[in-house]
Amino acid sequence: MSGRKGRSREAGRGAARRKSELPGVPGGLDAVFGVHAVRALLQRGETPRELWVQEGDATARLAELVEQVRAGGCRVRNQPREVLDELAREASHQGIVAFAAPLAFESEASLWFKLEAWPHEAPPLLLVLDGVTDVHNFGACLRSADAAGVHGVIVPKDKSAPLNATVRKVACGAAESVPAYQVVNLARALARLKEFGVWITGTAGEAETMLFDADLTGPTALVMGAEGKGMRRLTREACDGLVKLPMTGSVSSLNVSVATGICLFEAVRQRGAGRD
């Protein structure tokens, strides 16, 4: 075991111990932090099992949201800010933490059903993540996808990050609002997307076409590979075209979540979102 892996595992065990030491943390549930994330839960039609609200000013500030949650039969508990800070760590809890059932990926069949019923006036924009196994990167990609109005995120069943509590924390509500589909065979799924008229655009450092020269206005699936390794061979071969970002500095690549945000918002720019 390397020193880095050893420290990482020890940090994980320490975080688990800290959480277990907090008073009354419900077992078997994911902690969902922040106003937007809790509202996203309600919009999905899901009522949290338990809600923690910060004592003091936050109780009054969040009264309307708390009553909405309470109306669904959720238990509400007031907690000192120190308890919420300890539970959230790096996340911004904004005075509210919900405990909800773990998320699950939507099925591949659900993806094909939605594409069959897709309105022609709104070309789909999909994000495909091939080999992104880091939960922090996955959560950040979901957050960018939500901000860019992505209609769905597609991941393979193998070599992909789980949809766990850490992902929900990093995504800040996007894990609840952006559909995430898990497919058995990614290359086969990309071939099926083409049958729906979706153009598959992959990202690769050796591509000849710059991102800003590609046409992303039609039905598009943007494929992002894992850091370092990039897309797998079969995934690359399934793409209709490859694009790259202009790298003018000394580094040769960007963090996958950063690159994802740049690529998605180029699609947003081309599609004219926000224009009068």
pLDDT at 26: 85
Q: Encoding tokens for residue 34?
A: 């922040």
Query: Which CATH architecture does the domain made up of 108-270 adopt?
Result: 3-Layer(aba) Sandwich (3.40)
pLDDT in tens, 253-276: 789 999 999 999 999 999 986 444
Task: Describe the chain by its helix, strand, coil percentages, rounded to 5.
Answer: 40, 20, 40
- DSSP, res 259: H
The answer to whether 171 and 219 have CB atoms below 8 angstroms apart is no
Collapsing DSSP to helix, strand or coil, 125 comes out as strand
Distance (Å, rounded) from C-alpha 153 to C-alpha 167? 14
Is pLDDT of 81 > 60? Answer: yes
pLDDT at 106: 96
Which position has the higher pLDDT, 252 or 216? 216
pLDDT at 121: 74
Is pLDDT of 226 > 70? Answer: yes
Distance (Å, rounded) from C-alpha 265 to C-alpha 95? 31
The answer to whether 108 and 181 have CB atoms below 8 angstroms apart is yes
Residue 69, φ and ψ in degrees, nearest 5 = -70, -40
pTM reported for the whole predicted model: 0.82
Distance (Å, rounded) from C-alpha 77 to C-alpha 122? 43
Q: Which of 4-8, 93-97, 129-133, 169-173 has the lowest mean pLDDT?
A: 4-8
pLDDT at 276: 44
Collapsing DSSP to helix, strand or coil, 189 comes out as helix
Domain ranges of the chain: 3-100, 108-270
Q: Which of 7-11, 55-59, 177-181 has the lowest mean pLDDT?
A: 7-11
C-alpha 168: how far from its chain's center?
A: 7
pLDDT in tens, 130-152: 999 999 999 999 999 999 999 99
Is pLDDT of 20 > 50? Answer: no
Can you name the CATH fold of 3-100? 60s Ribosomal Protein L30; Chain: A; (3.30.1330)
pLDDT at 23: 64
Going by their DSSP bridges, the two strands 152-156 and 125-130 should be labelled as: parallel
Q: Encoding tokens for residue 32?
A: 């969902």
Cβ contacts of residue 27 below 8 Å, gap of 6+?
Answer: none
The answer to whether 51 and 96 have CB atoms below 8 angstroms apart is yes
Picking from 252, 255, 257, the residue whose alpha carbon sits closest to that of residue 129 is 257
pLDDT at 90: 67
pLDDT tier, 13 (very low <50, low <70, confident <90, very high otherwise): very low
Collapsing DSSP to helix, strand or coil, 44 comes out as coil
Gyration radius (Cα) of the chain, Å: 20
Distance (Å, rounded) from C-alpha 96 to C-alpha 94? 6
Is pLDDT of 68 > 50? Answer: yes
